[in-house]
Chain A
Amino acid sequence: MASPITLEQLERRRRGMLIGLLVGFTLWMGADLAHRLGTLGSVPPAAVAWTVGVGTLGWVFYLFNFFRMVRMKRMLRRDPALAAAADDEYRKHLRLKAFATAFWVLLVLQPVLGMTLGTMPIRIGARISLIVGVVAAVGGFLLLDRDREAG
């Protein structure tokens, strides 16, 4: 069954959703991290109050785009040809490159975090690793997937 959407439209929407997920995730987790650092006294109390609002907004935005993605995947399941074209070998290649980039970024981050042992709880170091990993992978993919001029 053909979808009422072209591949170009789908790619644009998908890119928008990925950007939304990335922004939402960064705000949500970044605010949470700031809140945790605030409880250690590393962040001014006034700023900590803002983290709850920003974090909630980020979470809502992340959730909104997450459900958009789920809906799109359901639509693609009904159109296997479009789904295959939307996830072709070039896209798989970019995804692999993005994950590889994120891996190296995380590898470089670990000794840096290791130097903070004793001054910062391991939980916060793990949270930083999670945020950096996701941002590096998704952000890397978005950078690699930028549209070039059509021929």
Chain B
Amino acid sequence: MGEPQLINSLKVERARRDLTQEDLAALVGVSRKTINTIERGKFIPSTWLALKLARALGMKVEELFQLEEES
């Protein structure tokens, strides 16, 4: 069994709230590139940033980020 991958629903939740990447980036105090790379799964945010993102979207962090078990 391989290492579980981190997946997120950041793009979906952001779109649901009609926010651009830039809007969300401004809310949490990071750059748009950072949001972009997190959404694409290319960068794993720190716990601090993950909590800030969840708070900005009004969600729990475990609703935003999950571990996907590899089959």
- Chain A, interface SS category: helix
A97 to chain B, nearest CB (A): 11
Q: Assess the A88–B34 pair: CB atoms within 8 A.
A: yes
Q: Assess the B34–A7 pair: CB atoms within 8 A.
A: no
Q: Assess the B31–A11 pair: CB atoms within 8 A.
A: yes
Q: A8-B22, A81-B29, A150-B21 are in contact. Are A90 and B39 (CB under 8 A)?
A: no
Count of A-B contacts with CB under 8 A? 53
In the complex, A145 Cα to B34 Cα: how many Å? 10
Q: Assess the B40–A148 pair: CB atoms within 8 A.
A: yes
B52 to chain A, nearest CB (A): 11
In the complex, A87 Cα to B11 Cα: how many Å? 23
In the complex, A84 Cα to B34 Cα: how many Å? 13
Chain A's closest residue to B44 (CB) is: A93
Provide the residues of chain B in CB contact with A86, threshold 8 Å. Answer: 31
CB<8 Å pairs between A and B, sample of 17: A7-B31, A8-B22, A8-B32, A84-B29, A85-B29, A85-B30, A89-B34, A90-B31, A90-B43, A91-B34, A93-B43, A147-B33, A148-B33, A148-B40, A149-B36, A150-B32, A151-B20
